[in-house]
Amino acid sequence: MSGIEGALLRYRIMAYIVGVGLLILVFIGVPLQYAAGVPIVAQVVGPIHGFLYIVYLLAALDLARRARFTLLQMAAMIGAGFIPFVAFFIEHRVTIRVRDKLLADESTGGPSGVGSNPQGH
* Cβ at position 19, least distance to other proteins in Å: 18
Question: Can you give the C-alpha Rg of the chain in angstroms?
Answer: 18
Q: Which stretch binds other proteins (CB under 8 A): 1-9, 11-19, 20-28, 65-73?
A: 65-73
* Cβ at position 1, least distance to other proteins in Å: 13
Among 54, 83, 84, 92, binds other proteins (CB under 8 A): 54
Instruction: Report how far apart the first and last C-alpha atoms of the chain are (Å, whole number).
Output: 20
Query: In the Cβ-directed half-sphere of 91, how many Cα atoms lie within 13 Å?
Result: 23
CA-to-CA dists, residue 115 to 51, 78, 112, angstroms: 34, 27, 8
Collect all residues with Cβ–Cβ distance below 8 Å to 28 and sequence separation of at least 6: 41
Give, as ranges, the residues between 71 and 110 that touch other proteins (CB under 8 A).
Answer: 71-76, 93, 97, 100-101, 103-104, 106-109
State which residue, 32 or 76, has the beta carbon closest to other proteins.
76
- Helix 40-67 to helix 71-79 angle (10° resolution) is 160
Among 27, 28, 34, 58, binds other proteins (CB under 8 A): 58
Q: Which residues bind other proteins (CB under 8 A)?
A: 42-43, 46-47, 50-51, 54, 57-58, 61, 64-65, 68-76, 93, 97, 100-101, 103-104, 106-109, 111-112, 114, 117-119
